[in-house]
Amino acid sequence: MGRGIEIRRLTADDAQICWQLRLEALKDSPSSFLTSYEEAVARENPIEGVTNNLSAEENATYGAWKEGVLVGVATFVAETRQKTDFKGQIVGVYVTPGARGKGLAKRLLQALLGHVEKESKVEKLTLGVMTENLPAIRLYESLGFTIYAKEERAMRLSGQYIDEYLMEKWIERTT
């Protein structure tokens, strides 16, 4: 999968295609996201919201492009409050079904982690992952994330409860 793949930080110019991939993610993997597809499409001016998110200096979304098509995304959101500005979150990680199993999510997250290490003052990253998503859990663990808590019944989907692991990774700063 390495050939023909470009991984880069998304900009406001990518808002429309990023939004389309987000809708695909919510339809394809509803148990991986707390937002439902129905909630997402009901938003007013969603492209404007995505544009603002992609333009925010303190945050970053990286995308994977295959032959000019966006096939994966991962987002870093920095805390901005003074008392918690040493923390950030990884959210919205998604790779299209046809591009899965080829190391693309790992490459996306490595690019995002590189950004966090070089471009932010964040010392601690957190993320949430549903306990049923074993490939994602293994991926996050391979990148140095550890489980620090489990939220029972974190989500209810189609009448079924799903538990969530909360994971963290401390960023080692040499300076």
Range of the domain at 41: 5-170
134 inside domain: yes
- Give the H/E segment covering residue 77: strand 69-78
136 inside domain: yes
Over residues 146-160, the mean pLDDT reads 96
CA 114 vs CA 17, 51, 107, 111: distances in Å: 24, 23, 10, 5
175 inside domain: no
- Rounded Cα–Cα distance for residues 48 and 158 (Å): 30
Of 170, 93, 175, residue with least CA distance to 133: 93
20 inside domain: yes
133 phi and psi angles, rounded to 5 deg: -90, 70
Over residues 23-38, the mean pLDDT reads 93
Looking at the structure of the chain, the number of domains it has is 1
Q: Is the pTM of this model over 0.85?
A: yes
Asked whether residue 1 carries a pLDDT value surpassing 50, the answer given is no
Q: Largest Cα–Cα distance in the chain?
A: 49
9 inside domain: yes
Per-residue pLDDT of 66-117, as tens digits, reads 999 999 999 999 998 999 999 999 999 999 999 998 899 999 999 999 999 9
What is the domain-level CATH number for residue 101? 3.40.630.30
